[in-house]
């Protein structure tokens, strides 16, 4: 069965944090749907691995090494992408980080690490890409939020605050960019079996048991399971959706 509204054939996607984890999974999902992908992160070797995977799917990949916390590096990555492909149709604003500690143990450096990446970085990337999309009068922006934006857990106070900011930023940006034909939405994953989450779970079997008991579907998600919602929000199938955050959490926030 053909579903042309979900096709991303020859669209140009700009993906941050694309070297591993959910960023890599998202880049590959967009490529499978037909998009060429500009891959952005600080680590060239990881990006080159992702690029090879994208190219094996028959799509073009561009590697752009950049720190999303630095305006000049992000703006250079956007320029390079536009020079190579002529436009940016999709932004998967994914890059993020976390430091798990009780709030009384969080250092100033920890705070800045999380907020500068998860809030400032999301803003800097969205601003740079939005300028290009405004010129085109079209585009799809998908920000990376989290179930933590609406569901509290111990040792994640600063992270949860940063993701709450992302969800609210998504709503405000959706209003600002709607007149230009640009939609802005977010996805909010729960526990996904990335290398970082795998290590966290393996460190404490009892904690893992408690987490699984809270997930309605009774299992940890796989990174590729963000792909359906991501492709949907990047495609014409979602053209009347903006300002929304879609949970991909196995039912965590339903409880």
Q: Which residues are catalytic?
A: 159
What is the torsional sign of CA 143, 149, 155, 158?
A: positive
| Strand boundaries in the chain, DSSP class E | 12-16, 36-41, 61-65, 90-93, 139-144, 182-189, 245-248
Helix (H, G, I), strand (E, B) or coil at 186: strand
How many Å apart are CA 86 and CA 97, to the nearest integer?
Answer: 31
Task: Give one word for 77, left, alpha or beta, with left for phi > 0 and alpha for psi -120 to 50.
Answer: alpha
How many Å apart are CA 246 and CA 238, to the nearest integer?
Answer: 12
Neighbours of 121 (CB within 10 A): 23
Helix (H, G, I), strand (E, B) or coil at 222: coil
How far is residue 91 from each of residues 131, 218, 220, measured CA to CA in Å? 12, 31, 26
How many Å apart are CA 127 and CA 191, to the nearest integer?
Answer: 28
Our separate counts of H helices and E strands in the chain read 9, 7
How many Å apart are CA 208 and CA 174, to the nearest integer?
Answer: 36
């Amino acid at each position: 069965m053909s579903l042309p509204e979900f096709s991303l054939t020859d669209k140009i996607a700009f993906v941050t944090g694309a070297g591993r984890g959910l960023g890599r999974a998202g880049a590959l999902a967009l490529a499978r749907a037909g998009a060429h992908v500009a891959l952005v992160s600080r680590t060239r070797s990881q990006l080159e691995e992702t690029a090879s995977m994208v190219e094996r799917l028959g799509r073009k990949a561009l590697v752009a090494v950049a720190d999303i916390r630095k305006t000049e590096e992000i703006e250079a990555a956007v320029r390079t992408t536009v020079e190579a492909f002529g436009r940016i149709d999709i932004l998967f604003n994914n890059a993020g980080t976390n430091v798990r500690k009780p709030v009384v143990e969080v250092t100033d450096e920890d705070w800045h690490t999380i907020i500068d990446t998860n809030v400032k970085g999301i803003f800097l990337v969205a601003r740079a890409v939005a300028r290009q999309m405004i010129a085109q009068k079209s585009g799809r922006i998908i920000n990376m939020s989290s179930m933590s934006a609406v569901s509290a857990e111990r040792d994640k106070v600063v992270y949860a605050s940063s993701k709450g900011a992302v969800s609210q930023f998504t709503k405000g940006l959706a209003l600002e960019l709607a007149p230009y034909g640009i939609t802005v939405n977010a996805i909010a994953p729960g526990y996904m079996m990335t290398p970082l989450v795998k290590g966290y779970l393996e460190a404490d079997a009892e904690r893992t048991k408690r987490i699984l008991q809270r997930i309605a579907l009774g299992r940890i998600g796989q990174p590729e399971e963000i792909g359906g919602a991501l492709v949907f929000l990047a495609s014409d199938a979602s053209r009347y959706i903006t300002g929304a955050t879609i949970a991909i959490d196995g039912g965590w926030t339903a409880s």
